[in-house]
Amino acid sequence: MPEAPRTTYVPGPPQRPGPQAWSREPSGRPVPPPAGAVPAPTPAPAAEPSRYAPRQEPQPIPATDRSGDRAGQRSARASGHDSGSRPPNAPPAAKPGQAGKPKRKRKRHLLRWFLVVLLILVLLPVGVLFYYDAQLHRVDALAAYSGRPAGTPGTTWLIVGTDSRADLTQDEKDKLATGDSDGARTDTIMLAHLPPSGSAMLISIPRDLYVPISGMGSHKINAAFNEGGPQLLVRTVEDLSGMRIDHYAEIGFGGFDRLVDAVGGVQMCLDQPLRDPKAGLRLKAGCQTLNGAQALGLVRTRAFPNADLERVVNQRKFLTALMHRAMSPGVLLNPFQLFPFLNGAVAALTVADGDHLWHLAWLGYKLNGDTVTTTVPTGGSTYTDDGDSLATDQSTADFFDYLRRGKPVPTDLLSEGGA
């Protein structure tokens, strides 16, 4: 019987594991694959197309864009990220509309601090002003009476210096050589007149001017204060001048020296040396800075040939020098001088009801400028029941007539050339 032909199995290239079909002999009998042979992969059946798949129609890409897109993709892959992603360490991108928020927050923060500082700078001076205003001594000096003059042009202050020692200790009385007299008398009577236009005027009224005093007859004008206080003096000055007094300020010995020392002293220029043991005064001739005790002695002394007439000149010079010093930046901007000055002012000053610290500040500002200083013209010396006095005459009436009408006073009615 003839031998059946042999079938040789030739292994092919390695294939992925999977089911392998058997080979067949020429007679058709299946031959299993040899042991260890890698079965050939069986192709997966084709997926049946879904009847609901959307229709896709690819669009051609322009030739000019293909090369650029491919180059950009290659460079993005080489750098580790593509153009549509951000770098690994980059901060998160700001949302639209939030880019300027940090800057706006900083501006609002600075604005808040600016408003706080501005509020402090405004409220602090206002608070200080009202505090010291409440400390001022006040008196009913401008009481109404029948026949009182109507308002006159400008603003007029009556400024009175008294010898009141009410606020002085015995040591201070000894230091200032004030004596021990009780009560209060005045040797200084001045009008500060601020006209509607032109320079302010500082006008001395001699204490020996012989005038009518309501309820007392005719006497030296200082008797009105000595007997009837501020109210009677205001009425007497208004009767004399025909002018309405708008404000009243009175300064005594108490606090006067502290007021001067607080601003570092006041510079005065003297034509002659002054010696007055009664006033505790010993000054050399020439320009010099006076301390509080020296300044008080200067405004009190009558050690001159013409006594009171020379004293009122020194009083005006001192007051204008004090206002100039007090209104200087060195005092107003220096709290170590400003606050002691305010303390001295409220201790030494008495004002009328209705007068305030800001009225005094405005007066100081006006007197700090080009001020005309003069003495009320008189008719000369006369002897009266009160002793040696000064009479009034037509020049006295004419002088006040110009002031009542708001007109400049002619030079021939000004003493010392108005200086």
What confidence score (pLDDT) does residue 396 get?
Answer: 95
What is the arithmetic mean of pLDDT over 194-207?
91
Query: Distance between CA 241 and CA 400 in Å, rounded?
Result: 5
What are 95-136's pLDDT values in tens digits? 555 555 677 777 777 777 777 776 776 677 788 888 989 999
Token pair 């015995």 in the structure block, residue:
170
Task: Rank 25-29, 111-115, 236-240, 260-264 by mean pLDDT and report only the highest.
Answer: 236-240
- The predicted structure's pLDDT at residue 417: 42
Task: Provide the mean pLDDT of the chain.
Answer: 77
Q: Using the predicted structure, report yes or no on whether residue 332 has a pLDDT greater than 80.
A: yes
Percent of the chain topping pLDDT 90: 28
- Cβ burial 236-253 (10 Å sphere, 16+ → b, else e): bbbbbbebbbbbbbbbbb
Indicate the pLDDT class of residue 313, thresholds 50, 70 and 90.
confident
Per-residue pLDDT tens over the stretch 265-280: 999 888 888 888 877 7
> Above 60 in pLDDT, residue 220?
yes
Query: Whole-angstrom Cα distance, residue 321 to residue 325?
Result: 6
Residue among 153, 56, 105 nearest 407 (CA): 153
**C-alpha distances out from residue 351 to 138, 140, 325, 357, 359, Å:** 5, 9, 21, 9, 10
Q: In the structure, what pLDDT confidence band is assigned to residue 375 with cuts at 50, 70 and 90? A: very high
Ranked by mean pLDDT, the top range of 54-68, 95-109, 192-206 is 192-206
Count of alpha carbons within 13 angstroms of residue 419, beta-carbon side: 2
Spatial separation of the C-alpha atoms in residues 398 and 241, rounded to whole Å = 10
Q: Are 254 and 178 in contact (CB under 8 A)?
A: no
pLDDT at 32 (0 to 100)? 63
pLDDT at 25: 56
User: To which H or E segment does residue 256 belong?
Assistant: helix 256-262
Highest mean predicted confidence (pLDDT) among 67-81, 180-194, 198-212:
198-212
Task: Output the CA angle 370-373-375, nearest 5 degrees.
Answer: 165
Q: In this predicted structure, what is the pLDDT of residue 61? A: 56
Residue 335 neighbours by CB under 8 Å, 6+ apart: none
Burial class (CB in 10 A: 0-12, 13-18, 19+), 235: buried
The vertex-119 CA angle with 117 and 125, nearest 5°, equals 105
The pLDDT score that the predictor gives to residue 178 is 52
Which domains are assigned to the chain?
135-410 (3.40.630.190)
Residue 43 has φ and ψ, to the nearest 5°, of -60, 140
| Reported confidence tier of residue 209, pLDDT bands at 50, 70, 90 | very high
Q: Measured between alpha carbons, how far is 92 from 105 in angstroms, rounded to an integer? A: 20
Q: Measure CA of the first residue to CA of the last residue in the chain; give whole Å.
A: 169
pLDDT(143) > 60: yes
Task: Identify the sign of the CA torsion 144, 147, 150, 155.
Answer: negative
- Judged against a pLDDT cut of 60, whether residue 75 lies above it is answered with no
Position 55 scores a pLDDT of: 57
- pLDDT at residue number 235: 96
pLDDT tens digits, residue range 153-177? 999 999 998 865 555 555 655 555 5
Average pLDDT over residues 365-390: 90
| Of 30-34, 49-53, 124-128, 391-395, the least confident | 49-53
What pTM was computed for the model? 0.68
Check residue 286 and report its DSSP letter: E
Q: Which two tokens stand for residue 314?
A: 């020194």
Average pLDDT over residues 17-31: 56
**Using CA atoms, how far apart are residues 312 and 92, in angstroms rounded to an integer?**
84
Rounded-to-integer distance, Cα 298 and Cα 291, Å: 11
- In degrees rounded to 5, what are phi and psi of residue 365? -65, -45
pLDDT of residue 108: 76
Q: In terms of DSSP bridges, do strands 281-283 and 274-276 run parallel, antiparallel, or are they unpaired?
A: antiparallel
pLDDT band at 30 (very low <50, low <70, confident <90, very high): low
